[in-house]
Structure 1
Amino acid sequence: MLRAVSSSLGTARAASTAVKRNTPNIVLVDAVRTPFVVSGTVFKDLMAVDLQKEAIKALVEKTKLPYEKLDHIICGTVIQECKTSNIAREAALLAGVPDNIPAHTVTLACISSNVAITTGMGMLATGNANAIIAGGVELLSDVPIRYNRKARKAMLGMNKAKDVPSKLKIGGEIVKNLLSPELPAVAEFSTGETMGHSGDRLAAAFNVSRREQDEFAIRSHTLASEAAKNGKFTDVVPVFLDGKKPKTIKEDNGIRVSTIEKLSTLKPAFVKPHGTVTAANASYLTDGASAALIMTEEYALANGFKPKAYLRDYLYVAQDPKDQLLLSPAYVIPKLLDKAGLGLKDIDVFEIHEAFAGQVLANLNAMDSEYFCKEQMKRSGKFGRVPMDKLNLWGGSLSIGHPFGATGVRLAAHSAHRLKEEKGQYAVIAACAAGGHGVGMLIEAYGK
């Protein structure tokens, strides 16, 4: 899917090599997101479908997209509300999208809206669509909590009970199990281990100290705070909340700049007492939604849209979900750049999802490790180190927040906007996800 951008011999940049022209250029026209907010705060009384609706509505209004030009809607989500299992369709209808425009929902943990984007890219590349909305949402303020299995079986059996003694017996089973709910957990089904435990072990394996993690967290919050104050978050759209005290939510509320002294007083959150992952150097539970308009370049220009960036290529990877759960960026970045014929020096912007500070730093160490690259990635030598002065310069998931299903679009929007502001050509997105999965995406500045 990578399209050619010719480069002349002797230029400092490798530009793009070995590129095919048998598929259409695919472009990001624009992207929006609701404010990303700490779960249990301002969006706590909403449903996820409400947030996704707001993102779709705002995108349509911002881009002035006529519905007759829209072919399909794809949205990602992780913790599904059973009433709106195809949340893309329900949100689209609530947003006023005509009912003859199909919509479907995808899920792949923290990279769900990346899947929405790349699924759309596939439809555009094969001529099955010209314009697609790709988005995602998570509302962790209200996750589904189930009765335990014994109570559920008893409830289903109540309708089949034919006499009073049978009903009383089943009723007793229900009452007995009412106070033993099944609570959702951010844990791997295959290993039973929480992502926080994996993050702690990963940091230890790659010699990332507690202080390095805390310093990276402070960096994330500081850069996000500066970006917000300087008006860089142009992808954020306001959300009006009706009720007894109507108000409009206009900005993220989880960005908090602290000091290394304060962070050093926090106790480990997962591996106690000697772990290094704390509440401050880990991403927090977040509510939010996003939406992006992607098109073929030809269709966008023919219909008066001005693209922000080219969506050049993508790659998914998967590894051992126990010991390498969060290492996908280290695997996918080299593979993606090899595929594109590019090197580290050709990339101007990196946006790497910050699940944990230790996870990001461990991945940077892994790519710069001779041993890891040779033994685990089967490369001839180490790949190299991603420069910090190109990484997440507007903050990341540690500070802005991480609604599981929505972050991928945020990464794409920030990559496109940073490329324009920093006058760069190529951006790389990388993110880890549950199950040992990961994604890498290559984005190119439009007009370069």
Structure 2
Amino acid sequence: MMSHIGNMLPKNASLINTLISGSIRALSTTPQMNAKKTLQDRTGKNIVLVDGVRTPFLLSGTDYSKMMAYDLARHSLKGILEKTGLPKEMVDYVIYGTVIQEVETSNIAREAMLCAGYSDRTPAHTVTMACISSNVAITTGIGLIASGAYETIVAGGVEFMSDIPIRFSRKLRSTMLKANKAKTAGQKLSLLAQVRPADFLPQLPAVSEFSSKETMGHSADRLAAAFEASRQEQDEFAIRSHTLAQQAYEKGYMTDLMPIKVQGVSKTIEKDNGVRVSTMEQLSKLKPAFVKPYGTVTAANSSFLTDGASAAVIMPEAKAKALGLKPKAYLRDFTYVAQDPIDQLLLGPAYGTPILLQKAGLSINDIDTWEFHEAFAGQIIANLKAMDSDWFAQKYLNRSSKVGAPDMEKFNKWGGSLSIGHPFAATGIRLAMHTANRLVREDGQIGLVAACAAGGQGVAMLLERHPDATPN
């Protein structure tokens, strides 16, 4: 099905030329503003994103490696209270996301918030929806507030890839459970005698689809091929991401970052450690990581396994004003989408963005900041080409014409998951905070967040700058 898309898309290269040319200077330019619109409040509560924090996002196996996921989450949950000055007793509910669960802390939301010093009277639950888990935490909170059940909610997410659960084979697990229930030593020995050396081979988790058994990297490679995203285009986009992230650090824009002191690590960790500005010559030497030898997806143009945690406070605007808080943005609207998890696994933004714009009565030109999750450079390019294709709109979106491609001068201007890192369940808060903070710094009004997720799902969210918002 998707294999025909590349032949049906427009052959002009204007999108990629726009993406590359001038993209590195994007951080220092001021976009031309349209007449500013305001968005409708659909909840009756004018729900706001007060503020958010995240730990530095680190390559798995580095400075966080001796921690546990709940402890990393604890830092973000404690940090958001410190940043906002919100008394812990004021938090009505905690919603936290994670993807690769640690069995010992299955409801990690509860364990982490208790360790962070929150009241034991505060309920907490854990959500999961792959790479958009903390988006789900936010929107679940929106629903609870809109219903009148709660007012002050902390939402966030954590991923800890340095220590993932590894299982024995199913046969060995079954034998061990039976042996544990056996009543006599003879029964135990009889069961254990059935175990063979091969039964001890571990089952390692993989970033792959249960339904298709295909890794996400393979899907990304096929998607890039279908949309004719060349290796050069992907490498150029990866360099763009790392370069813009580096510039954002230098300009002091990454204010959602909170320093963290880790036991056993001498230095205070203050910065993400995956940002590496490279050259086309260096990237061109890398071999394909998934589809060998002819694939175009490499380690350099893919996001990497990352440890990190994030948290944010959301509440009704009236509550924020009563507490003397200055919110960053209104949380105006959102949509979740799902599509074919084999050929269209990573096209969530291309599906979600048109739906959300139409729902809000907006055009693509009304969006002042774009923040898309960068799972792979090829995935981003494929989504941008899909959005700019009349054929794709008519064939898959039931639209008469394309929604259009974002202005790259407004797109991921502080880098993205390719450079900053991608702790699966923590990225959604990072996307929302970069949107809110960029709206303030760039004098924008409306920002759009979009991301793909495993299972062929995706999310799109609209944020609107709050009049009281200031840079921090």
Q: TM-score, normalised by structure 2?
A: 0.90
1:417 corresponding residue in structure 2? 437
Deviation at 1:170, TM superposition (A): 2.1
Change (3 A) 1:178 1:44: farther
Q: Which deviates the most, 65-74 or 169-178?
A: 169-178
Does residue 274 (structure 1) correspond to residue 260 (structure 2)? The answer is no
TM-superposed deviation, 1:21: 6.2
Residues 280-291 of structure 1: pairs in structure 2 closer than 5 A = 280-291=300-311
Between 123-132 and 419-428, the greater mean CA deviation after superposition: 123-132
Deviation at 1:162, TM superposition (A): 4.9
Q: Is the 8 A contact 2:88 2:117 kept in 1?
A: no
- From 40, 62, 69, the counterpart of 2:61: 40
- 1:31 maps to amino acid: G
| 2:375 equivalent to 1:355 | yes
Q: Distance in 2 between matches of 1:269 and 1:223?
A: 24
Superposed CA offset, 1:291-322 (max 9, x none): 00111000000111110111111100000000
Offset at residue 179 of structure 1 (A): 3.1
Which segment drifts farther, 192-201 or 62-71? 62-71
Which of 183, 191, 210 is equivalent to 2:231?
210
The answer to whether the Cα contact below 8 Å between 2:242 and 2:277 also exists between their aligned partners in 1 is: yes
Partner in structure 1 of residue 16 of structure 2: none
Contact 1:419 1:427 (C-alpha < 8 Å) held by counterparts:
yes
SS in 1 for 2:130: coil
Matching residue of 1:344: 364
| 1:241 Cα offset (Å) | 1.3
CA RMSD of aligned residues (A): 1.5
Quote the Cα distance in structure 2 between the aligned partners of 1:447 and 1:186: 41
**Match of residue 384, structure 2, among 364, 375, 384:** 364
Shift of residue 157 of structure 1?
A: 1.1
* Separation (CA, whole Å) in 2 of partners of 1:30 and 1:378: 37
Which of the residues 24, 27, 35 maps onto 1:13? Answer: 35
Q: 1:427 maps to what in 2?
A: 447
Confirm or deny that 1:131 pairs with 2:152: yes
Stretch of structure 1 that moved more, 329-338 or 381-390? 381-390
2:320 paired with 1:295 = no
Contact 2:38 2:464 in 1 (8 A): no
In the alignment, the residues of structure 1 paired with residue 76 and residue 181 of structure 2 have an alpha-carbon distance, to the nearest angstrom, of: 44
Question: Aligned partner of 2:226: which letter?
Answer: A
SS at match of 1:121: helix
Kindly indicate whether residue 246 of structure 2 is the aligned counterpart of residue 228 of structure 1. Answer: no
1:168 to 1:360, Cα distance in 2 relative to 1, 3 A: same
When structure 1 is superposed on structure 2, of 158-167 and 215-224 the one drifting more is 158-167
Match of 2:142 among 110, 121, 127: 121
Relative to 1, partners in 2 of residues 1:162 and 1:429: Cα closer, same or farther, differing over 3 Å? Answer: same
Give deviations 1:144-186, integer Å, cap 9, x for gaps: 0000100000101113445555433422334524531111010
Q: 1:307 aligns with which of 327, 346, 357?
A: 327
Corresponding letter in the other structure for 2:396: Q
CA distance in 1: counterparts of 2:345 and 2:408, whole angstroms: 23
- 2:384, 2:190 → 1: CA distance? 59
Kept in 2, the 8 Å contact 1:321–1:435? The answer is: yes
Structure-1-length-normalised TM-score: 0.95
Which whole-Å CA distance do the structure 1 matches of 2:42 and 2:186 have between them?
73
Paired AA for residue 284 in structure 1: F
- Correspondence list, 1:433-448, <5 A: 433-447=453-467
CA shift for structure 1 position 330: 0.3
Whole-angstrom CA distance in 2 between matches of 1:344 and 1:162: 68
| 1:181-260 correspondence runs (5 A) | 181-243=202-264, 246-260=266-280
Amino acid at match of 1:390: K
AA matched with 1:393: K
Kindly state the Cα deviation for residue 404 of structure 1 after the two structures are TM-superposed.
Answer: 0.3
The equivalent of 1:378 in structure 2 is 398
Please state whether the residue corresponding to 2:194 is helix, strand or coil: helix
Alignment of 1:138-149 (within 5 A): 138-149=159-170
- The one-letter code of the counterpart of 2:367 is I
Partner of 2:86, secondary structure, is: coil
Distance 1:333 1:69 in 2: 35
Q: What one-letter code is carried by the residue in structure 2 that aligns with 1:13? A: A
Identity of aligned residues (%): 61
Distance 1:37 1:327 in 2: 26
Q: Contact 1:151 / 1:173 at 8 angstroms: preserved in 2?
A: no
Q: Tell me how far apart the structure 2 counterparts of residues 173 and 437 of structure 1 sit (CA, whole Å).
A: 43
Instruction: Give 1:447 shift.
Output: 1.1
Q: How far apart are residue 126 of structure 1 and its match?
A: 1.4
Equivalent residue for 1:387, pick from 395, 407, 416: 407
Contact 1:150 1:173 (C-alpha < 8 Å) held by counterparts: no
The Cα of 1:208 is off from its aligned counterpart by 0.5
SS at 1:440's partner residue? strand
**Which deviates further from its counterpart, 367-376 or 168-177?**
168-177
Deviations 1:170-226 (A, max 9, x none): 223345245311110101001101100100010011110000000000000000011
1:368·1:382 contact (CA, 8 Å) conserved in 2? yes
Partner of 2:281: 261
Q: Secondary structure at the match of 1:247?
A: coil
1:402 aligns with 2:413: no
* Secondary structure of 1:239's aligned partner: coil
Q: Unpaired segments of 5 or more residues in structure 2?
A: 1-32
The verdict on how the C-alpha distance between 1:77 and 1:331 changes in structure 2, with shifts beyond 3 A counting, is: same
Q: Give yes or no for contact 2:89–2:118 (8 Å, CA) kept in 1.
A: no
Any conservation in 2 of the 1:33–1:290 contact (CA below 8 Å)? yes
For residues 84 and 203 of structure 2, the distance between their equivalents in structure 1, rounded to whole angstroms, comes to 43
Question: Is the Cα–Cα contact under 8 Å of residues 208 and 358 in structure 1 kept in the other structure?
Answer: yes
In 2, Cα distance between the equivalents of 1:22 and 1:397? 31
Aligned equivalents of 2:261, 2:388: Cα separation in 1: 46
Task: Report if aligned partners of 1:200, 1:270 keep a CA contact under 8 Å in 2.
Answer: yes
- The answer for the alignment partner of 1:67 in structure 2 is 88
- Partner residue of 2:343? 323
